[in-house]
Amino acid sequence: MKELFELIQDLFVNVLFAPLDALRALELESWWGANLVSFFFIAIGMVAFVYWMLQLKSHHTNGEEDKSVTSHSFL
């Protein structure tokens, strides 16, 4: 049973966290290089937000949104 837990530890420490260790080492050398990953994800989020807003606008202009005022039956 001890070998199983050591295998799990080895998997996480040496394999799955290796990119994070490399990113931590890169930060000491280049701030821009280390934050390029963050900039990449921020750009993806901004593109997704703009796409979502354009989709909402197109549905609003087509009149596809249900604007009827309803409430739950228990109210």
40 within a domain of the structure (yes/no): yes
52 within a domain of the structure (yes/no): yes
72 within a domain of the structure (yes/no): no
39 within a domain of the structure (yes/no): yes
Query: Identity (one letter) of the amino acid at 15?
Result: V
Look at residue 75 in the predicted model and tell me its pLDDT: 60
CA–CA separation, 12 and 16 (whole Å): 5
CB contact set of 33 (below 8 Å; sequence gap of 6+): 26
CA–CA separation, 31 and 37 (whole Å): 11
Range of the domain at 44: 2-62
Look at residue 17 in the predicted model and tell me its pLDDT: 94
Look at 6-15, 29-38, 64-73 and tell me which has the smallest mean pLDDT. 64-73
Look at residue 48 in the predicted model and tell me its pLDDT: 98
Give the pLDDT confidence of 27-52 residue by residue, as tens digits: 889 999 889 989 999 999 999 999 99
Q: What is the rounded average pLDDT of the residues 1-16?
A: 94
Q: What is the number of domains present in the chain? A: 1
